[in-house]
Structure 1
Amino acid sequence: MGEKRKSQPKEASAKKARSQKQTSKDSTGKETATELGHTAIPYPKPVSGSSFTECTAKLTVTLAPAYSRDHWAGIHEALNNMLLHYVPQVRGVILAYSKVKPRSDTALMFFDSPYGQLEVSARLLLWRPIAGMALRGQINVQSPDHIGMLLWDTFNASIPASFIPKDKYEWRPFNDDEIAARALPTYNQSEAIADGELEEESGSNTDADVTMTTQGESDADVPASPYTSGNRYGSGEWVVKGTSQCVGSEGSLEFVVVDVIRANEVLSVTGALR
């Protein structure tokens, strides 16, 4: 008979402990243990300051042949087309410009192209988010996969589920009663006419002067966002773990920028909850 191999309980338990726990370093450089299968959120180094900045930059604008006699009209049209677009020359989204000065009296034309190239300098207001900044957005969608937000009613931001700490937050699905209670009543014009809820201003019969009210609810009372005034749509929401307290306050949520994504001329932000 073969010799029975002796068990080594100490070595086995040590290997099991090492496989169940891994160490990682947070932003402060300290090592923290994380459970197997739950990688640490890569929080970047904190960055102070605003995501908006001003600078004087040199830009190259393209002038169409129609502006060969009026460079200023062509310059302003080219700069207007850059507004709310990501411009690699300035590494940011141009929000406004001022103090425009041409750097040359003539535009350059290359080969057989009818378009001219002219360099100008301008004072620019830019949106330039950086990883590590703390931003606040208005929640517009929640799902088990992510939290979607809108920044300043203009820019998109998303927090993937992998960047939501599971030791602090959890996904809570709505039941049927909650979904029904959260839905706002909707009316179309024919139903409003049948209910006698259309009011016409005296002396006017035009459609522009017809106003519609919904059971004592004025336009000012209707939330601008489905996530304001406690009205939420969808299959559920992210809440503080162990409670029913939803993330954010009054529909807004603060997060840390993890990555800035550029797709063509559109800039969006990926964030993480603390």
Structure 2
Amino acid sequence: MAEKRKSKDKDASAKKSKAPKSSKKLNDGTSKDLSVQPASTHSSIPYPAAINSSSFIESTTKLTVTLAAIHSRDFWAGVYETLNGMLLHFVPQVRGVVLSYSKVKLLGDSALLFNDSPYAQLEISAKLLLWRPVSGMSLEGTINVQSPDHIGMLLWDTFNASIPASFIPKDKYEWRPFSDEEIAARAVPVSNNNNASDDEQDEAEAEAEASTMQIDAYGVPSGFGENKFGSGEWVHKGTSQSIGADGGLEFVVVDVIRANEVLSVTGALR
């Protein structure tokens, strides 16, 4: 009985060792290996679907203006005060940042008072120019800071944008730290003359900065858009060419972040 049990165990181990390989026979008699390949260790960047439209739009919108008692004799002053307060702020009612307004019209003959509120409500319409970025849009910004963690940019010298390091393809770009000589060359010397006035020191610093700045064929300063005091920069892999060397960097919008009345953009490099 012991010998029979031993032989059964031997047969079972032989069957396990002869497990069929994952293969598929093709029409020509050859076989194709269908074994699962190990997953890539690099997670892919979640690029959104591309949107080919501008982030600036014009919209004629109906608005409700709240007027204080001081504007009871001149309601237009209250209307323009409200519209001016919307400029460069995110307004949820229009789902965008208001940049300008025009063609303001009244939609009623009088303002309305509700219950015991001292404020009157007036219906108006206005044509608004809005900044409304959407995930998937392609935008271009000017680099103002670079670090191993992210790239910071300004859009039209007004709005903030950031590209996290996780959204920078490592097969195309890499972080290159500056040497001590490069950091010293980028720094602007400060005058140590304590007897000089503030205006004289400012003028000396401006002259020193201008002397180290080169102008390209298009009249753009070479330092424009570069991280002047950073510890390094992001460069193209293989060529070591600085990204945004011409002053601008194109990216795709991944997310739009709202903080109170301010919008900022999170992007990714392609």
1:259 aligned partner: 255
Counterpart check, 1:86 vs 2:90: yes
Measure how far apart 1:191 and its partner are.
5.8
For residues 177-200 of structure 1, what are the alpha-carbon distances to aligned partners after superposition, in whole Å with 9 as ceiling and x for unaligned? 221121122347736459xx94xx
1:273 aligned partner: 269
Larger Rg: 2
Amino acid of the structure 1 residue aligned with 2:162 = S
1:161 aligned partner: 165
The number of residue pairs the alignment matches comes to 244
For residues 49-99 of structure 1, what are the alpha-carbon distances to aligned partners after superposition, in whole Å with 9 as ceiling and x for unaligned? 321111211111221221122110000000000000111111111100111
Q: In structure 2, the residue corresponding to 1:269 is in which secondary structure?
A: strand
1:242-253 alignment runs, 5 A limit: 242-253=238-249
Q: In structure 1, the residue corresponding to 2:194 is in which secondary structure?
A: helix
1:142 aligned partner: 146
2:203 aligned partner: 212
1:121 aligned partner: 125
1:41-60 alignment runs, 5 A limit: 41-60=45-64
Structure 1, unmatched stretches of 5+, are: 22-34, 199-209
1:25 aligned partner: none
- Judging changes above 3 Å, is the alpha-carbon distance between structure 1 residues 130 and 220 closer, same or farther for their aligned structure 2 residues? farther
- 1: CA distance, partners of 2:205 / 2:149: 35
- 1: CA distance, partners of 2:73 / 2:173: 62
- 2: CA distance, partners of 1:230 / 1:130: 27
Q: In structure 1, the residue corresponding to 2:82 is in which secondary structure?
A: helix
- 2: CA distance, partners of 1:188 / 1:103: 64
Q: Is the 8 A contact 2:213 2:223 kept in 1?
A: no
Counterpart check, 1:102 vs 2:106: yes
- 2: CA distance, partners of 1:221 / 1:108: 63
Q: Which runs of 4+ in 1 moved over 3 A?
A: 1-11, 187-194, 213-227
Q: Is the 8 A contact 2:113 2:121 kept in 1?
A: yes
Q: In structure 2, the residue corresponding to 1:212 is in which secondary structure?
A: helix
Q: In structure 2, the residue corresponding to 1:79 is in which secondary structure?
A: helix
Q: Is the 8 A contact 1:171 1:239 kept in 2?
A: yes
Amino acid of the structure 2 residue aligned with 1:232 = K
Q: How much is the aligned-residue C-alpha RMSD, in angstroms?
A: 3.2
- 1: CA distance, partners of 2:64 / 2:21: 70
Q: Is the 8 A contact 2:188 2:205 kept in 1?
A: no
Q: In structure 2, the residue corresponding to 1:113 is in which secondary structure?
A: coil
Q: Is the 8 A contact 2:188 2:209 kept in 1?
A: no
- 1: CA distance, partners of 2:125 / 2:206: 56
1:240 aligned partner: 236
- 2: CA distance, partners of 1:79 / 1:265: 15
Q: Is the 8 A contact 2:255 2:265 kept in 1?
A: yes
- Judging changes above 3 Å, is the alpha-carbon distance between structure 1 residues 211 and 65 closer, same or farther for their aligned structure 2 residues? same
Measure how far apart 1:40 and its partner are.
1.3
Counterpart check, 1:185 vs 2:189: yes
- 2: CA distance, partners of 1:258 / 1:97: 29
TM-score (norm 1): 0.77
Structure 2, unmatched stretches of 5+, are: 1-5, 23-32, 215-219
Q: Is the 8 A contact 1:100 1:122 kept in 2?
A: yes
Measure how far apart 1:250 and its partner are.
2.7
Q: Is the 8 A contact 2:189 2:208 kept in 1?
A: no
Q: In structure 2, the residue corresponding to 1:245 is in which secondary structure?
A: coil
Q: In structure 1, the residue corresponding to 2:53 is in which secondary structure?
A: coil
Counterpart check, 1:70 vs 2:61: no
TM-score (norm 2): 0.78
2:27 aligned partner: none
- 1: CA distance, partners of 2:57 / 2:193: 46
